[in-house]
Structure 1
Amino acid sequence: MSKLIATTFLTLDGVYQGPGGVEEDTSGGFDQGGWVTPFYEEGMQELATEWISGAGAFLLGRRTYDIFAAHWPKVTDPGDPLASRLNGLPKHVVSRTLSSSTWANTSFVGGDVVEFVRDLKSRPGREVQVHGSGALLQTLIAHDLVDEYRLWQFPVVLGKGRRLFPDGVTPKAFEHVETRHTAAGVNVLVLRPAGKPRFDTFRLVAE
């Protein structure tokens, strides 16, 4: 079976909206896009390259697909480790309106995405990686389809914007796998689902 790996950028207050540019995602009046760019440095690309080497396919939401499709097909250097995989591997794009693409190896999922992903995961193969795609990722989280999270936490708080785990989300516990750090102060948490949270109360121990 293939594992589904979720990779996403988050602020300290859990916002995933518009990380890459001021005009990337202004929906809902969001005007604080581009919060990742000031923290970009070589270590980020090295880590992204390491992890993308495990990909066998990509699952993308419509907004992330539009951003990727506008850039990566133009990167034609076969020695580029990110472009070679993003351009060469299968890309499954969840969209109710698109049905064709000029980006090679792209197909569209217009039906029940939950059933599609369950079938995709049941097939033998390497990782199915979800990059960004916040709205799609929330659906996958709600149906317990994510096997591992790679959460890039940036040292910034925005106070508004779409959050990956909004109010009302089903409570979940996670197992810590590892933590990576970049020179610019980004912490990358690798987590795996661990069922429901446990609750207890601290008790004073009498001497």
Structure 2
Amino acid sequence: MRKLIMWNVITLDGYFEGEKNWDLSFHGLIWGKELEEFSLTQLRSADMLVFGAKTYQGMADYWTSAPEDEGEVAKFMNELPKLACSTTLMNADWKNTTITKDAVGEVSKLKKEGSGDMFVFGSGILSGSFMKAGLFDEYRICIAPIFLGKGRHLFLDGIPNQELKLIETKPLSTGGVILTYIP
């Protein structure tokens, strides 16, 4: 059975995006060899990536024309199967993409069909839907050592109360910390 895992980078004050769409400049504070290796380990365990419509479009735009220094990460991002969850997206040009209008139903079904990990990157609204449905098996959050003061929070109002168990803490030499929780 597949696991559904949330992977996100947030600021110390809880933002996963700055004031403008795709303002992820704070990611540069934590990026380095350690996080690159962690990212590759995650991608090697993945057999599917899951995105909401806005994140899908942004990721597709970036990864299909990624700089050469993105190397192995770009290869995984472009080759892995992807599920774009959207009621409005009509076509998906990014390689190996399927579109679903019923995100919760489709992911519930897909979790039973495979053995690799399914990762949700970004996709705050979609993640909220998965949280309400109790679909996440693991949360991996990297805290960037910065207060943004403004932007878009990852965890929106209305998510259910859920206690989590910390199973791993991984400090990075850049000052970031990766926290891994399970329900």
Q: What is residue 117 of structure 2 aligned with on the other side?
A: 127
**Distance change (3 Å), C-alpha of 1:5 and 1:42:** same
Distance 2:157 2:100 in 1: 28
- Residue in 2 that maps onto 1:150: 140
Partner-residue secondary structure (3-state), 2:21? coil
Bigger fraction of residues in helix: 2
Q: CA deviation at 1:23?
A: 4.7
SS of corresponding position for 2:58: helix
Q: Which residue among 38, 47, 55 is the counterpart of 2:38?
A: 47
Preserved CA contact (<8 Å) 2:46 2:117 = yes
Relative distance call for 1:159 and 1:108 in structure 2 (3 A) is same
What stretches of structure 1 move > 4 A for 4+ residues in a row? none
Gaps of 5+ in 1: 26-31, 194-207
**1:23–1:166 Cα change, 3 Å:** closer
Residue 24 in 1 paired to residue 12 in 2? no
Structure number with the higher strand fraction is 2
> Does 2:9 align with 1:9?
yes
1:1-207 matches, cutoff 5 A: 1-18=1-18, 23-25=20-22, 34-75=25-66, 80-110=71-101, 112-193=102-183
Q: CA deviation at 1:167?
A: 4.2
Q: What TM-score comes out, normalization by structure 1 length?
A: 0.79
8 Å CA contact 1:153–1:188 kept in 2: the answer is yes
1:23-54 per-residue CA deviation (whole Å, 9 max, x = no partner) reads 534xxxxxx75222233222221111111110
List runs of 5+ in structure 2 lacking aligned partners.
Answer: none
- TM-score w.r.t. structure 2 length? 0.89
Letter in 1 for 2:33: E
Count of residues paired in the alignment: 182
State how far apart, in whole Å, the 1-side matches of 2:67 and 2:178 are.
29
Backbone CA RMSD of aligned residues? 2.2
